[in-house]
Chain A
Amino acid sequence: ILNVEQSPQSLHVQEGDSTNFTCSFPSSNFYALHWYRWETAKSPEALFVMTLNGDEKKKGRISATLNTKEGYSYLYIKGSQPEDSATYLCANSMNRDDKIIFGKGTRLHILP
């Protein structure tokens, strides 16, 4: 994998259901993996920054895991609510002082 890839591109989930989606990134020269939430007509907002293999972070009903050896991260949302509707972006960097490269995002729609 040469770029940051996210799947699926779009996802519809019933309110109350749990869901997850994937970010794949180059596993060589890894430094950090970022997750952002981007609501329509707003700006991206940082959720997590993870650096260690096996790392798991949680913020309320949202959590993320990291596997640096195989180059993927999962974002989980438990008990989806309408306010979770947004685009979720992941981004990776290869060293401490480098830029981060964004994936194209997963657009999540929560159905009432």
Chain B
Amino acid sequence: DAGVTQSPTHLIKTRGQQVTLRCSPKSGHDTVSWYQQALGQGPQFIFQYYEEEERQRGNFPDRFSGHQFPNYSSELNVNALLLGDSALYLCASSQDFRPYEQYFGPGTRLTVT
């Protein structure tokens, strides 16, 4: 049984560019949450997707958008990249009827130069 997977592992982009990160949830999980973890800090919530809709959003600008597909996988898109967007982006999955257990993927390390 595969756990949460993310791609790519690492990514280097230039300021102003756009990036798409991908996440496949743990088998049986239907809810996907995205977090941004800057170096030396705790993860910060970006948004959560359930039933292909954004159910909850953290304090992130509209440059951050997402999508959930019918197979529950999800994408995170960031437009007009800033240097401050450099971070580890973590995807976490859970079951809606059992929200307490949330499992994290390995993350995507994004570097903006």
* A in complex with B: no
Binding site for A on B (CB under 8 A): none
Binding site for B on A (CB under 8 A): none
